[in-house]
Structure 1
Amino acid sequence: MDSNLFSRRRAERFAQLLDEADGGRRHHVRSRADDRLTELVAIGQQLRTSRPAAPVDPEFRTGLRAMLVATAEREGIGAAPTERPATTTGHSPATTSGRTFLPAVTARRARARGAILIGVAAGAIAVSGISAASENAVPGDALYGMKRSTERAQLALASSDISRGQLFLDFARTRLDEAGTLRGDRAGFTAVLDDMDADTRQGVRLLTTTAARRAEPAGLDAVNAFLTGQRREVAALLNTVTRSERDRTRRSLALLDAIRKRSDGLRAAIACDLATPATSDALGPVPGSCPGDR
């Protein structure tokens, strides 16, 4: 599906196809996008008649509602039309029994925007059920892409850097669990540990940056709690993997040790009331030395 799927013209055509599927007037037009749009209409019809087997998470429902409300406000969907200024020709919008009719173009655009919202809502509800089924997927499984997409959605809905940082560390734990199922698959094992280390760096950077900015160690406490369990589990892999996989695992252990050193240094800097460090790297702020350590 290309990035221009919901351009104005295609959105209006999508709205027409939805009307036709619901028994509305048939439009004797056709576009090059009809084949793809027809597939989406069919999916929409199926979603109306079936519900996900898995329950929808309350947090997901709340986040989805907020997203739809924000989109509706931004697009002006559902808002009363503003009055038009009187024209010099004396013409006014057509009325019947005191009701003012929107111009045909405005009505079509409203239907198109509504169709987009319906598509987003229906797709999101369906995804919520599929994502629940994908929780135990591992690289190579059909639902693994859905699992990673769900993680990105969680990050998008996170309300603060601390929440996002903790989510990244949770994902690093998940990647470690996946690595245990890929022993003997050198390429897959290496790839999932690369992802684990990337998630670890992202989470640690967010948490250490917040701790330094606020001069509060709460973010560092979360980092240390992660390190305690994660290092133990990564070290346990050394006894079960091949030689080449063992070398790659040691790199992840070295990263965790570097994070512990960084966390301890920032904690000491906060305790001696050092100003926010001016330099940073992949792990976040680089702490200076307290006066007594010089």
Structure 2
Amino acid sequence: MDNILFSRRRAKRFAQLLDEANGGRRHHVRSRVDGQLAPLVAVGQRLSVDPPAPEVDPEFRTGLRAMLLATAERDGMGTTPATAEPSVARPAATTARGSLLPAATARRARARGAILIGIAAGAVAVSGISAASENAVPGDALYGMKRSTERAQLALASSDISRGQLFLDFARTRLGEAAELRGDAIGYSAVLDDMDADTRQGIRLLTAAALQRAEPSSLDTVNAFVASQHKAVSRLLDGANRADRERTRRSLALLDTIRERSDALRDAIACGLPAPAGSDSLGPAPTTCPGDR
């Protein structure tokens, strides 16, 4: 029992230290295991800023993808039935008995359903289905499953900072999809629209956290993302047609605006002016420091 309790406390303390390292609220407490956990926290912080690309066995991905597509075709997933199934009349005794079910039973049934949905969402986030759909692009049979996995990850995130980092990861994913759709004017533009939307969502959460806590650590994540993403988006210009180039430059302009916002927020925090002047799609708009007026 003591070992179990110690392991739980150790895990809880590790979660606190990792959240603080990523810009979360300071807990202002110390533990005797902090020194042991410090190397793990450093690794976790590096992974959050620059996550490694997943490596999945190609044979496993191919086999699982084929199985899922066959299951979808067999069960008619993603298709709408031509006609609705006729309703079957229930016997009068069954109807009467069903109407007498107490409300508590119905509530328990809904609760069990909610629990099952939560378990299913968590399983999707960590299952091989994610590996099978990770290379899917809009129009593929597994693309909807890929986006559902992302929504499940957001639902399981523990804080706004974690959700913000996830949105930036999704923006990187959309960038990879855009590279596969160059030349398809409609598909390419739509994916970049999604990429920019994910970027704004993530930046809004991270900048709000930085200003709320008066700590610029979340802005370090923002700046690292902007630097790497700007280089990757710029590569889309190579060999692109006119329409794709114009659309790509809009995404580059958004990244430039984000970097300016991040620098302005950092200056506001440094001069002790955390109160925002307003808010927009990128989160809080900082006030101007007295020396800059």
Q: What is the TM-score when the length of structure 1 is the normalising length?
A: 0.60
Deviations 1:133-177 (A, max 9, x none): 111111111000010011111111111110010000000000000
Looking at structure 2, the residues matched to 292 and 169 of structure 1 have their Cα atoms a distance apart, in angstroms, of 33
Post-superposition offset of 1:290: 1.2
SS of alignment partner, residue 276 of structure 2: coil
Paired residue type of 2:113: I
Does residue 288 of the first structure (1) align with residue 250 of the second (2)?
no
Post-superposition offset of 1:117: 6.1
The number of residues matched between the two structures is 193
SS of alignment partner, residue 278 of structure 1: strand
Deviations 1:228-275 (A, max 9, x none): 100000111111311110000000000000000000000011011113
Quote the residue 1:230 is aligned against.
229
SS of alignment partner, residue 275 of structure 1: coil
Does residue 120 of the first structure (1) align with residue 117 of the second (2)?
yes
Quote the residue 2:246 is aligned against.
247
Larger Rg: 1
Query: Gaps spanning 5+ residues in structure 2: where?
Result: 1-62, 65-99
Quote the residue 2:143 is aligned against.
144
Quote the residue 2:181 is aligned against.
182
Going from structure 1 to structure 2, the CA distance change for 1:224 and 1:116 (only over 3 Å counts) comes to same
What does 1:38-49 align with in structure 2 at a 5 Å threshold?
none
SS of alignment partner, residue 286 of structure 2: coil
Quote the residue 2:208 is aligned against.
209
Quote the residue 1:165 is aligned against.
164
Q: Which has the higher helix share?
A: 2
RMSD: 2.4
Looking at structure 2, the residues matched to 117 and 207 of structure 1 have their Cα atoms a distance apart, in angstroms, of 30
Post-superposition offset of 1:110: 8.2
Quote the residue 1:277 is aligned against.
276
Post-superposition offset of 1:131: 2.9
Deviations 1:87-139 (A, max 9, x none): xxxxxxxxxxxxxxxxx845965884587368637855774342331111111
Quote the residue 2:54 is aligned against.
none
Is the contact made by 2:170 and 2:198 (CA closer than 8 Å) also made in structure 1?
yes
SS of alignment partner, residue 207 of structure 2: helix
Post-superposition offset of 1:194: 0.3
Going from structure 1 to structure 2, the CA distance change for 1:275 and 1:119 (only over 3 Å counts) comes to closer
Looking at structure 2, the residues matched to 273 and 118 of structure 1 have their Cα atoms a distance apart, in angstroms, of 45
Looking at structure 1, the residues matched to 244 and 282 of structure 2 have their Cα atoms a distance apart, in angstroms, of 24
Paired residue type of 2:243: S
Deviations 1:42-97 (A, max 9, x none): xxxxxxxxxxx98xxxxxxxxxxxxxxxxxxxxxxxxxxxxxxxxxxxxxxxxxxx
Looking at structure 1, the residues matched to 110 and 155 of structure 2 have their Cα atoms a distance apart, in angstroms, of 23
Looking at structure 1, the residues matched to 239 and 246 of structure 2 have their Cα atoms a distance apart, in angstroms, of 12
Quote the residue 2:35 is aligned against.
none
Going from structure 1 to structure 2, the CA distance change for 1:110 and 1:173 (only over 3 Å counts) comes to closer
Paired residue type of 2:140: D
Is the contact made by 2:211 and 2:269 (CA closer than 8 Å) also made in structure 1?
yes
